[in-house]
Structure 1
Amino acid sequence: MNVKSEAKEYRLDSIKWLLVVLLVVAGVAGNSYFSAEPLLYRVLALLALTAAACVVAYKTAKGASFWELIQGSIVELRKVVWPTRQETNQTTLIVVAVVIVMSIILWLLDTFFGWIAAMIIG
Structure 2
Amino acid sequence: MERFAFVMCAGFGLSAACCFLMYVRIRAGRFYPNRWLGVATSVTRRNGHVWEPAHKAAAPWILRAGVVALLASVLAGASLIAGAEDGLGWWLTIAGAATGAAAVLIFKIGAEGSALAAAGSGRD
Q: TM bucket by the smaller chain?
A: 0.3 to 0.5
- Answer with 1 or 2: which has the greater Rg: 1
Relative CO higher for 1 or 2, CA cutoff 8 Å, sep ≥ 6?
Answer: 2
